[in-house]
Amino acid sequence: MLYAIGTKVRLRFTGERGTITGILEEGMLQVRLDNDPDFEIPTFEEDLTRDEDAEPVSAGAKFIQGKPEKKPEAPPARRLPSQYKILKPKGLQLAFEPMPGRDGFVSRYKVWLINDTPSEFLMEFDLFTHARDVLSVDDKLSASMALELGDFLSDDLNEAPEAFLRVKRITTAGVDEPLEHTLKIKPKQFFNSLLTAPILNVLAYQFVMIDKFDQEDKKEESDLKAYAKQQVRKPVRESNSRPYKAFDPEALANFEPEIDLHIQRLINGYARLDKGEILRIQLQHCQRFVEKAARLGAARVFLIHGVGEGKLKDAIADQLRGNPHVVKFKNEYHHKYGYGATEVIF
């Protein structure tokens, strides 16, 4: 193995730069692209070269035996802000995003801490098993944000994993008293918790860690329930039209309301990827496109997936069902796409 996590590399065939974020099986490495920090791809080691511009080495440099090479620092954790207003926050949630390998088998999970509330927190997080300490993170968790914590191996599920979270809410009056929660993760409980994660908008195994932050929250919830009981529900006249407001009219005018999700249209070097990895890449591109369309205020878009076996079409439908921006979607005959595209209405 010529590379370590954190090494700056270039892809031989495309020239794209990136950083190694994981060591996979069968001589493959996980690479986060510099031009798209939210996107990681599996790549064969022989398809990479060191990025000499990022890690310059003098012409006469020699390795000195007996002195271990200093490992490069791991890339900074990703912080993903919410792209939409969260109407019903669930609280602080722990999410395990599956990261399939070339054969579609999941041997590791990307761990995220999701804060869908309007509050900021100082946090301490530990994930450990009987056999080892998996993760330890001290950080600040901003409002409506998902924080990348690190990787969790599938094998760790057999070692009685536990997650510990301690937070202090930051308010205008200062820092609140700390709140703590310990979660014991059992395999059966874990695999029954697959949902679309807020902010990430991907399927992940997730758990609510803390959802009540002080007595005022509980009082407010009680008062809200009492108020709701006193109100008389008035009939609402439904309308077939919905107003759309473009946040950037110029960007919306230049926005192409369709995306071709055939893998050859998305990336180079796809021939070596298996079906599971290809599907994951297609869904990631689909998700980003739909989020961008909603952010710009598009009324509708078309997701071109072809006919084939229908696996991509079905996976897209599952993804759209969990998107709060989508009013409806349909796969009907279209004069331009036939049955090979799904229309999404926002």
Whether the per-residue pLDDT at 222 is higher than 60: the answer is no
More confident residue, 204 or 46: 204
In whole angstroms, what is the distance from residue 333 CA to residue 303 CA? 13
Select 249-345's CATH number: 1.10.10.410, 3.30.1370.110, 3.10.129.10, 3.30.2310.20.
3.30.1370.110
Whether the per-residue pLDDT at 207 is higher than 90: the answer is yes
DSSP, collapsed to helix, strand or coil, labels residue 126 as strand
Which residues lie below 8 Å from residue 35, measured CB to CB, with a gap of 6+? 16, 17
* Per-residue pLDDT at 4: 81
In whole angstroms, what is the distance from residue 307 CA to residue 50 CA? 40
Query: What are 144-172's pLDDT values in tens digits?
Result: 999 999 999 998 998 999 999 999 998 88
* Per-residue pLDDT at 231: 52
pLDDT, mean of residues 206-217 = 79
* CATH no. for 79-219: 2.60.40.1600
Using an 8 Å Cβ cutoff, are 287 and 279 in contact? Answer: no
Query: What are 284-328's pLDDT values in tens digits?
Result: 999 999 999 888 888 899 999 998 888 999 999 999 988 888 999
Question: Between vectors from CA 121 to CA 115 and to CA 125, what angle results, nearest 5°?
Answer: 80
Query: What are 44-92's pLDDT values in tens digits?
Result: 887 888 887 665 444 444 444 444 555 556 567 889 998 888 888 999 9
Question: Between vectors from CA 121 to CA 154 and to CA 202, what angle results, nearest 5°?
Answer: 40
> pLDDT grade, residue 100 (50/70/90)?
confident
* Per-residue pLDDT at 118: 92
Least confident of 67-76, 101-110, 138-147: 67-76
In whole angstroms, what is the distance from residue 333 CA to residue 346 CA? 20
- Residue 299 carries which side chain, given as an amino acid letter? A
- Bridge partners, residue 184, by sequence: 162
More confident residue, 266 or 251: 266
* Per-residue pLDDT at 101: 79
pLDDT, mean of residues 172-198 = 90
Could you give the percent of the chain with pLDDT greater than 90?
Answer: 36
- List the chain domain ranges: 1-75, 79-219, 249-345
CA distances from 6 to 2, 10, 50, 73, 150 (A): 12, 13, 11, 5, 13
Whether the per-residue pLDDT at 249 is higher than 60: the answer is yes
pLDDT, mean of residues 92-116 = 90
* Per-residue pLDDT at 223: 54
* Per-residue pLDDT at 167: 94
Least confident of 62-71, 223-232, 261-270, 291-300: 62-71
Query: What are 5-25's pLDDT values in tens digits?
Result: 888 888 877 778 888 888 877
* Per-residue pLDDT at 239: 43
CA distances from 67 to 1, 12, 125, 302 (A): 18, 30, 34, 57
* Per-residue pLDDT at 62: 43
Q: Which fold is adopted by the domain 1-75?
A: SH3 type barrels. (2.30.30)
